[in-house]
Amino acid sequence: MIKHMRVDSRLIHGQVAVTWKNHIGANEIIVCNDVVANDRIQKMALPLAAKGTPVKVFSIQETIDYAKAHEDETLFVICKFITDALALVEAGLDIKEFNVGTVAPQQGTDYKMITKTIAATKEDVPVYEKLCAHFGNVYSRITPANEPVDVMAALKKEGLL
């Protein structure tokens, strides 16, 4: 079971490697993104950023297969993009918690910063709507100690919804 799935374009950093992992009680971190999974340098570097926590770097399909084969484990999955997260949701995985951390602006897109850490475009809105429909709402939390920010309300406030 995926106890917690987080979207964070930075993937693994101090907040994730220590704070979120400990809060979740996960024994390992799974990074989910097709491009990252095929980049040997990132596959080598990401475990180094995890401060001793085991890290698996998987494609979307590998993440789906692994999660289905390890339903009795407490999994913490970090997706690079919201579309990665949606693919896992649409695959029918058991995901208990969902959180959007940092979504960096993509070069060449017409983005708006909807929070201090989340860039979004009009093309992102349907993805967030599907995630919201599945989870009941979509929240952003930088750390477990932070108050959740309603992502859908932030999209609306910035005129994207």
Strand order in the sheet with 2-7: 55-58, 29-32, 75-79, 2-7, 95-100, 139-140, 149-150
Residue 152: per-residue pLDDT = 98
Where do the domains of the chain lie? 2-102+137-146
Q: What is the pTM of this model?
A: 0.95
Annotated catalytic residue 13? yes
Residue 116: per-residue pLDDT = 95
Alpha carbon distance 26, 78 (integer Å):
12
- Give pLDDT < 70 ranges for the chain: none
Q: Which of 4, 13, 23, 134 is catalytic?
A: 13
Long-range contacts of 48-55, Cβ-Cβ distance < 8 Å, separation of 24 or more: 49/11, 49/12, 49/13, 49/17, 50/12, 50/17, 50/21, 51/14, 51/17, 51/18, 53/17, 53/21, 53/27, 53/28, 53/29, 54/27, 54/28, 54/29, 55/12, 55/28, 55/29, 55/30, 55/31
- 50: its two tokens: 């995890």
Architecture of domain 2-102+137-146: 3-Layer(aba) Sandwich (3.40)
Q: What is the pLDDT of residues 16-43, one digit of tens each?
A: 878 898 899 888 899 999 999 999 999 9
